[in-house]
Amino acid sequence: MFDVKTFLHSDALGPAVEWKGYPKFNFIGGHNDNENIPVISLKESIDKVILREGKTLAKYGLESGPQGYFPLRNFLSNQLKNSAAINCVEREILIVSGSLQALDLVNTTFLRKGDTVIIEEENYGGTISRLKKIGVNMIGIPLEKDGMDINYLEKELKKLESENKKPRYIYTIPTIQNPTGTVMSVEKRRALIEISKRFGIPIFEDDCYADLLYEKKRPPAIKSFDDEGYVIYCGSFSKSIAPALRVGYLVANWDILSRVLPYKTDAGSGSLEQMALAEFCKNEFNDHVTNLRVELKKKSDVICNALDKYFGSAANYQKPDGGIFIWVDMPENVDTSKLYDIAIKQGVAINPGHEWSVNPSGKHKMRLCYGNPTIQEIDQGVKLLAEICQTEFGVPKQIANQ
């Protein structure tokens, strides 16, 4: 038998685990609500656009070039102005295959092994794993209830400056921060852009969840305060429309995009998805997102009630202002990595906190995504998780029988 291992490089990644299907109670991944995918409207949009412009699929990039389908970029230019106060034009937008490709493109453009980056100390697991893979030095900034601790950030930057070290960028998820759910205040957004300018360091603003604020008014993006080209902005349709569409976008000055674009070597993101989204979004995006927020708010209430009912005071959390996940702080004796290993065997999947934190406190925290499970599955899954936690760690002390 051919032995592939003898042909792999010494730094090759480990083998993938063969997928066996989703667990019964799946509280991981950025999945969304099945019933709120606008299937009929998307079908109608595809029907319209494929008959009108389908022949342009004969060319890479359609008739719009390598930055993506022009009508979708046109929609985003208008939408971002109205929703996030960002003034940008189509040439400053690059369509990508989901926000993860945006992250990879920016990292490939800006980072090399040994570089330093600033991130929030509790952060998106995909960001942390990618930065570790590159071999960069991550400096974690603590989070407060209204976002990144700006005073702590400034002290760290002064310290780095005294050591002649300049971070390659400051990465932040300001609106519905992943995983904590915090929303950065407008005051801190203004302060962050001023710090960026003063120290001469770009900001990478990941705003993928910003469309999903339930009731709070969406703050203007950090990018909206940027008049000198310091901010690279990332957004996605994965959370607002459908994750499997794999359509995201980068917004930056052309000087930056022109450097990023050469690394996008996939001959363009899926064009049919872009065409369908542009057709759908021009008339239905805002109504759809409004309805989606209502349904996700219901699920948010259900998971909070379930945590209170089955975990009691053993589970500490901040009630989400939006999004599809909740960050839960457990007693210090609860190792959520061990909890994950045990729970997955019983059909409950969680995100253990150490994968979402650059500090040791992540060991007893976990992220639970509630966007995809049904209301009944949320309640049943949290109850089973509490029972497993009690058996393994002695907390909570008792489980409700409802």
Domains of the chain: 18-37+290-393 (3.90.1150.10), 39-285 (3.40.640.10)
Check residue 50 and give its pLDDT: 94
Q: What is the identity of the amino acid at 251?
A: V
Task: Please tell me whether the peptide bond between 396 and the residue prior to it is cis, using omega within 30 degrees of 0.
Answer: yes
Provide the 3-class DSSP secondary structure of residue 183.
strand
Question: What letter would DSSP give residue 169?
Answer: -
From the list 151, 192, 196, 160, the residue with the least C-alpha distance to 173 is 192
Could you report the per-residue pLDDT of 276-310, keeping only the tens digit for each?
999 999 999 999 999 999 999 999 999 999 999 99
User: Which ranges in 145-201 belong to alpha helices (H)?
Assistant: 150-162, 186-199
For the chain, how many helices (H) and strands (E)?
Answer: 10, 15
Strands 365-369 and 325-329: antiparallel
| C-alpha count within 13 angstroms, C-beta hemisphere, residue 53 | 20
> Which tokens in the block code for residue 246?
């794999």
| C-alpha count within 13 angstroms, C-beta hemisphere, residue 54 | 8
Q: Identify the band that residue 12 occupies on the pLDDT scale cut at 50, 70 and 90.
A: confident
> What average pLDDT does this structure show over 234-258?
95
Alpha-carbon distance 138 to 128, whole Å?
8
pLDDT over 70 (residue 31): yes
Those residues with Cβ within 8 angstroms of residue 328's Cβ, 6 or more apart along the chain or in another chain: 307, 315, 316, 317, 365, 366, 367, 368
Check residue 254 and give its pLDDT: 96
Q: Which residue has the higher pLDDT, 194 or 402?
A: 194
pLDDT over 60 (residue 201): yes
pLDDT over 70 (residue 399): no
Q: Identify the band that residue 343 occupies on the pLDDT scale cut at 50, 70 and 90.
A: very high
pLDDT over 60 (residue 44): yes
Classify the C-alpha dihedral 120-121-126-129 as positive or negative. Answer: positive
Alpha-carbon distance 138 to 119, whole Å?
7
The percentage of residues in the chain with a pLDDT greater than 90, rounded to a whole number, is 90
Q: What share of the chain is helix, strand, coil (3-state, %, to 5)?
A: 50, 15, 35
> What average pLDDT does this structure show over 136-145?
97
Could you report the per-residue pLDDT of 320-330, keeping only the tens digit for each?
999 999 999 99
From the list 248, 307, 304, 302, the residue with the least C-alpha distance to 273 is 248
Alpha-carbon distance 193 to 184, whole Å?
13
Residue 274 parent element (H or E): helix 271-311
> Which tokens in the block code for residue 359?
């500090």
Q: What angle do CA 181, 187, 192 make, to 5 degrees?
A: 80
> Which tokens in the block code for residue 235?
């957004």
> Which tokens in the block code for residue 269?
């993101």
Alpha-carbon distance 137 to 126, whole Å?
16
Q: Identify the band that residue 96 occupies on the pLDDT scale cut at 50, 70 and 90.
A: very high
* Count of beta carbons in the 10 Å neighbourhood of residue 335: 17
Mean residue pLDDT across the chain? 95
pLDDT over 60 (residue 245): yes
The percentage of residues in the chain with a pLDDT greater than 70, rounded to a whole number, is 99
